[in-house]
Chain A
Amino acid sequence: MIATAIFLLLFLLLISVRYWRARVSYSLFFICLVSILLLFWHHATDKLNINL
């Protein structure tokens, strides 16, 4: 469901870009980017039991 939520955030981001509201769009962009990276971190370190 997290992946679905991120895709929906991306759709929201596209709408906000269309009606550019700088603060909203920048916030949404970085929320999406950080969410993707956190989800990546979860999936990348989950199986390998990596200690960094």
Chain B
Amino acid sequence: MSSRIDILLCHIFILVICAILLGAFSIQFGMGEFPCPLCLLQRMCMILSAIGPAYVIARGRHRRHTGMTVLSTGLGLAILAAVGGMAVATRQDLLHIEPGTPGYGSPIFGLHLYTWALLVFVCIIIASGLMLVFGAEYPSSSQATTSRKRWYTTLTLWLFGAIILANAIVAFMESGFNLFLPDNPEHYELLRQLGIGTGSGGSG
């Protein structure tokens, strides 16, 4: 695999994570479902796992930095975060695994969101492993060129940053000025604390 394909795959990696997080937002605000603490922890781990590929593409602007060293650092970070996310998703799966126990939230395509999250983390680990196995290895000095900003790299990193900030706002709305998130959130605590209605209904 050439370094261009590696960097392109890292873009796709981040954009897929962004799409998943935007999907979670659409369920939160569209269907009026509040993310529980474990759901937010899974979002954190997804963001953390996309930081590795963000590092690869940020370095990819400078061709002399690309290659197996950068790729292995970035994907290593992604795997570490995905293992943490898997632990959280597995924990939430096991909470509801007993037959007859209602799951948290509505199932999407037959599976609850935490089960989808578990599959996403498994896919991250498999994809990272495959990219490491088939990663590009070439001499750095011969390909040293000046950096060139690509519009899609800038767009991807800005979108990713905006989604992280949006999640920070949502988490603040849910926890309010409390230290921890409520176990079963049914309203936006911040809105209640500020006396702006009940903040229920997931309308944001």
Contact = CB atoms under 8 A, between A and B. Distances in A.
Bound pair: A and B? yes
Interface of A: 1-4, 6-8, 10-11, 13-15, 17-18, 20, 25, 29, 32-33, 36-37, 39-40, 42-44, 46-47
A14 B45 contact: no
Interface of B: 37-38, 40-41, 44-45, 47-48, 51, 54-55, 58-59, 77, 80-81, 84, 87-88, 91, 157, 160-161, 164-165, 167-168, 171-172, 174-175, 177-181, 183
A29 B51 contact: yes
A8 to B, nearest CB: 5
A25 B84 CA distance: 18
Interface of B is mostly: helix
B80 A33 contact: yes
Nearest to A32: B48
B167 A20 contact: no
A11 B41 contact: no
Interface of A is mostly: helix
B168 A17 contact: no
Given A3-B40, A43-B38, A33 B81 contact: yes
A47 B183 contact: yes
B183 A46 contact: yes
A11 B178 CA distance: 21
A13 B51 contact: yes
A31 B41 CA distance: 14
